[in-house]
A and B are shown apart, each in its own frame.
Chain A
């Protein structure tokens, strides 16, 4: 019994974090949102070189043969550092050993293909393109998409959950920093219990999301349980984060907005919380 990441896994997470920070992932995301894809494609290539898209592909297919725990470790960082591009599709749903940027629709779970304007659509015919509330994400209608197997879909759901966890952690960290700097009535607002207790509740919620994400990766609980908890935890982080930032948090210019909109998008992506609650219940009552 050992329920903790290995040094190797922690090191892998740090390597991804370092690479993304050095590349100024937030600036890359803003460029991506304005239709300038080159910096994002460049960062994608470097992350793919680290082995991200090949991580859980079997070794006999040229992949790294990593575990689902390795996968969620990577996706938590992608959420934390605001990665852009169809990572769930290219690294979890249909791992690409050559680092290709691919996308797919998987109706009814995931009726749209993300970022199809830059990624290769794995199956079906693309239709109208829509903008997501997450400005770094587009959604393309797809007809005649191929039906994907449950194992692949579960990997996508799990990766989405891990990304939500990472995004929630980031919003919490940035909110804690902000309330220590912002002063009102002569004190840091982070010294008021009304603020502290809300942020403590986010800390507590996220501390209990991570074991579910890791446990789902080990097959201890259904991936749907991890998705429900991660969506709830990250959404709580987003609502609280916005509230403690006040008006500045409600602006597009302030970077917090990128994570708030990302979280809102991922809460319903790859299956709504209601869908996944139903699936958990099904697994319990048979």
Chain B
């Protein structure tokens, strides 16, 4: 058992660290959920891509570096330590790209991945519907076959679609076989958000910014070439995204360790005025370290050919609660100043509050942990529509 990095890994770490030190903007960019901030974040992505640092784990020919999982974790650690901007391309590069690699045709890979990796095209996810949240398989939006034009016609409504206000493309599931139930008869579609028939209605989030949107589909035509995986196989295809989202790829330890280090710095500054916050500072730091070490365990297992599986749910509950713990401790240290809306701690806190809800609520994750890891009996299902 050891956590030593190889000479190549150390060299990679050094290169990333030096590049970030020279290039990370001194002032934080405006929020990516504003028109101005969105463009600024896209420009940052382009700069990252130019240095081949936007998607390090992708193949070279698609703009990456073929980085190993260990190198990816190193990259993320350095990225957040350097205080670099949030990733506006996150939904595409972390959630959709793994599926395009696994299920996309070579033509789709060549058409979609380069502009996704460079941040030129930003992708939004379209999973939830007004009546299908945690129970995603009850979704009602439809895809009707159009043989004449060689494609499908989408109708219905999606909601809580992150980044959709300013994004260029969307991805989501639609019911393509009306006679099939639940997980069957669903198809995975890719669609430009400016396609005729799509209406995007921004929704202001808790902090007032339009971080997500509602999408209305009125006879939206999607050609066969924009179906991901086989028609009817959408659930299976999509579930690999869900595993990615709640597991490793969306939440690297780097961001939490960086926040924990900032929390310790804040304690040095403010601790004397708020000694009662001590235990929360220490516990948040310990948990961030636990997450870092746990991740190295996961990386080791994946390197050995293991799978994330239901452990992704263990991971998701932990990081989402850790994120809130870290920021609550920071706000408590700030005392009355915590209320000042523009502080980095308040920003981070409001963002962290969404963690236990998105990517599968923590209640759903606890069900998965209880049923698939502890082996407890499944909850009897309610009446099905």
Contact = CB atoms under 8 A, between A and B. Distances in A.
Contacts of B377: 180, 187-188, 190-191
B385 interface: no
Interface in B363-380: 363, 365-367, 369-371, 373-380
Q: Chain B interface residue count: which class?
A: 35 or more
**Range class of the A interface residue count:** 35 or more
A69 B1 contact: yes
A191 B374 contact: no
Interface string A32-73: 000000000000000000000000000000000000010000
Interface string B347-373: 000000000000000010111011101
A150 interface: no
B332 to A, nearest CB: 15
A199 B311 CA distance: 15
A179 B376 contact: yes
Interface stretch (B36-44, B170-178, B292-300): B292-300
A12 to B, nearest CB: 13
A211 B297 contact: yes
B226 interface: no
Contacts of B148: none
Interface string A7-41: 00100000000000000000000000000000000
A197 B370 contact: yes
B282 A1 contact: no
B238 interface: no
Contacts of A220: 3, 289, 293
A196 B293 CA distance: 26
**Among B1, B4, B267, B304, which residue has the most Cβ atoms of chain A within 10 A?**
B1
Contacts of B384: none
B246 to A, nearest CB: 13
A200 B370 contact: yes
Interface string B1-32: 11111100100000000000000000000000
Interface stretch (A80-88, A105-113, A201-209, A245-253): A201-209
Contact of B294 (A187, A208, A277, A280): A208
Interface in A177-225: 179-180, 187-188, 190-191, 193, 195-197, 199-201, 203-204, 207-209, 211-212, 214-215, 218, 220-221, 225
Given A196-B370, A215-B293, A229 B286 contact: yes
Contacts of A225: 286, 289
User: Which residue among B2, B267, B311 has the maximum number of chain A CB atoms within 10 Å of its CB?
Assistant: B2
Given A191-B379, A277-B279, A1 B370 contact: no
Contacts of B201: none
Contacts of A191: 376-380
B278 A1 contact: no
Given A2-B300, A193-B379, A208-B294, 14 more contacts: A1-B9, A4-B304, A5-B1, A188-B376, A190-B376, A197-B366, A197-B370, A200-B369, A201-B317, A203-B370, A214-B293, A280-B286, A284-B285, A285-B268
16 contacts: A3-B296, A3-B299, A69-B1, A176-B374, A180-B377, A187-B380, A188-B376, A191-B378, A191-B379, A203-B370, A207-B311, A208-B287, A225-B286, A277-B282, A281-B282, A285-B267
> Top 9 closest A-B pairs, CB basis?
A211-B293, A196-B370, A200-B369, A3-B296, A191-B377, A200-B366, A208-B290, A215-B293, A190-B376
